Amino acid sequence: MDVQWNDLIVRDARALTASEIRDLLKVAERPEITSFAGGVPDPALFPLGDFNSVYRDLMDDDTAGRRSLQYSISEGLPALRQWIVDDLATNGAVRDISNILITCGAQQGLDMLGRLLLEAGRQIVVEKPTYLGAMQAFSMRRPEYVGVDMDDDGPIIAQLEAAFANGARIAYLAPDFQNPTGRSYSLERRLAVLDVARKYGAVILEDAAYCKLSYDGTSLPSLLALDDTGGDLAAGTVIQLGTFSKTLAPALRIGWVTAPRPVIERLVLMKQAGDLHVSTVNQEVALRAAGRLFPGHIDGLRDAYRHKRDTMLAALDDFMPDGVTYTRPQGGMFIWLTLPENIDSRRLLELALEEAKVAFVPGQAFFCDHSGTNTARLSFATEKPDRIRSGIERLAALIKRVHNQY
Ligand SMILES: Cc1ncc(COP(=O)(O)O)c(C=O)c1O
């Protein structure tokens, strides 16, 4: 008898499904395609020479080198957690190293928090649209998503309050340069989110993946910073996810969760059971690289990405037909396009790959309720400015033609 995999594989695991557009987007990797589809940093901006010397210096140091190749504690290296605590303080968040767990990227933090806080049928509030990877992590627990609409200042507070009033106690939110829209919350909206969460005893999972990539010199306090715990290390409404993926290199796989102590204590046990700890050598390298390169390297990233953002916005302004609107992000890597209602962005992607030789991500995948069929995510991070301009010009011409056909 054949193995009956569908009986063996548990329902939670069967809840994970492959993205329909993944195959289509494989085409985006071809050199003739100008790709606005990727969600990754520009590899040309990785500080290769600095990494070379950081690794070499580490291995030239007999004691530190050997220590970095050994097992280490599940919480993460104390010196790295202290660096994170000091960095959080520059944004106004007062926390302690016992509030920090080092994770394998922010993505593992999302997975672990999903396993800690979600179960089948439990509600979780997400932005509409939201980060697809978060929904993938959470969906393994088969929660019930409650979508909240957004405007240019953040989530609609009446909808957030209604979700909490209806029993939701967890919200996953990204207040800075959100993936996929590039939008940020205003200070007033941040305070209102916290007020309403506190009113219902709800927890906010704050994704701060892009918070350092601010291009207009603005840096608002995070929800974590606004969540004043009065020095009580066990208190707090906000759990924040951080990462070095957007500022150093994603391949380090160094992220972190900042949370009240009782949460960290649970997560540490899960980390021990799951994979013991994050790579010691990569933690050591991340610490040394951040110490050596920040803030100068981040300033360089800001200049490079700002130029690309400006190039894409100028091209959109110059070429997009009436009826197409887009966000004007002050940071991050993404611009969010809203097309005329009659254009399905998945169909448009097929034509764009074939005719305009341009790739983007259709927006529907980022909506928990599968709405947003006329939306698209454009990344300006990886293409060179001249290709950004010509790619947007070709995409705009295609949209004009498709729109006129209907
Ligand atoms: C909003 C957001 N959160 C989390 C992540 C995961 O980042 P990492 O696991 O590389 O730290 C990403 C990656 O693209 C992201 O865009």
Q: Give pLDDT tens digits for 310-344.
A: 999 999 999 999 999 999 999 999 999 999 999 99
Q: What is the pLDDT of residue 193?
A: 98
Q: Do 228 and 120 lie in a common domain? A: yes
Q: Do 350 and 205 lie in a common domain? A: no
- Rounded to the nearest 10°, the torsion over CA 277, 255, 378, 180 is 100
Q: Do 121 and 233 lie in a common domain? A: yes
Q: What is the pLDDT of residues 91-105, one digit of tens each?
A: 999 999 999 999 999
Give me ligand 1 centre to Cα 69, in Å: 26
Q: Do 360 and 279 lie in a common domain? A: no
Ligand 1 atom at shortest distance from the alpha carbon of 40: 14
Give me ligand 1 centre to Cα 236, in Å: 23
Instruction: Show which of 274, 293, 312 is a domain's final residue.
Output: 293
Instruction: Show which of 275, 293, 311 is a domain's final residue.
Output: 293
Nearest in space to 334 (alpha carbons), one of 290, 371, 356, 366: 366
Q: Do 269 and 349 lie in a common domain? A: no
Is 206's pLDDT higher than 70? yes
Q: Do 334 and 246 lie in a common domain? A: no
Q: What is the pLDDT of residue 20?
A: 66
**Nearest Cα residue to atom 15 of ligand 1:** 209
Q: Do 271 and 399 lie in a common domain? A: no
Cα distances (Å, whole numbers) of residue 138 to 120, 199, 226: 10, 25, 26
Q: Do 251 and 303 lie in a common domain? A: no
Ligand 1 atom at shortest distance from the alpha carbon of 39: 14
Domain range enclosing 354? 5-47+297-405
Q: How far apart are CA 351 and CA 319, in angstroms?
A: 18
Out of 240, 243, 334, 377, mutate this one to test ligand 1's pocket (max ligand atoms within 8 Å of CB): namely 243
Is 60 contained in some domain? no
Is 16's pLDDT higher than 90? no
Is 52 contained in some domain? no
**Nearest Cα residue to atom 14 of ligand 1:** 39
Q: Do 140 and 266 lie in a common domain? A: yes
Q: Do 308 and 277 lie in a common domain? A: no
What is the average pLDDT across 235-258?
98
Out of 46, 84, 107, 212, mutate this one to test ligand 1's pocket (max ligand atoms within 8 Å of CB): namely 107
Reported as a pLDDT band with limits 50, 70 and 90, residue 60 is very high
- Domain containing 100 — which CATH number? 3.40.640.10
Ligand 1 residue neighbourhood (C-beta within 6 Å): 39, 105-107, 131, 133, 174, 179, 207, 209, 243, 245, 250, 255
What is the average pLDDT across 261-274?
98
Token pair in block for residue 284:
């050591």
Give me ligand 1 centre to Cα 155, in Å: 20
Q: How many separate domains does the chain show?
A: 2
Q: What is the pLDDT of residue 122?
A: 98
Reported as a pLDDT band with limits 50, 70 and 90, residue 36 is very high
Mind spelling out the 3-state secondary structure of the chain?
CCCCHHHHCCHHHHCCCCCCCHHHHHHHHCCCCEECCCCCCCHHHCCHHHHHHHHHHHHHCHHHHHHHCCCCCCCCCHHHHHHHHHHHHHCCCCCCHHHEEEEEHHHHHHHHHHHHHCCCCCEEEEEECCCHHHHHHHHCCCCEEEEEEEECCEECHHHHHHHHHCCCCEEEECCCCCCCCCCCCCHHHHHHHHHHHHHHCCEEEEECCCCCCECCCCCCCCHHHHCCCCCCCCCCCEEEEEECCCCCCHHHCEEEEECCHHHHHHHHHHHHHHHCCCCHHHHHHHHHHHHHHCCHHHHHHHHHHHHHHHHHHHHHHHHCCCCCEECCCCECCEEEEECCCCCCHHHHHHHHHHHHCEECEEHHHHCCCCCCCCEEEEECCCCCHHHHHHHHHHHHHHHHHHHHHC
Q: Do 243 and 324 lie in a common domain? A: no
Is 64 contained in some domain? no
Q: Do 308 and 283 lie in a common domain? A: no
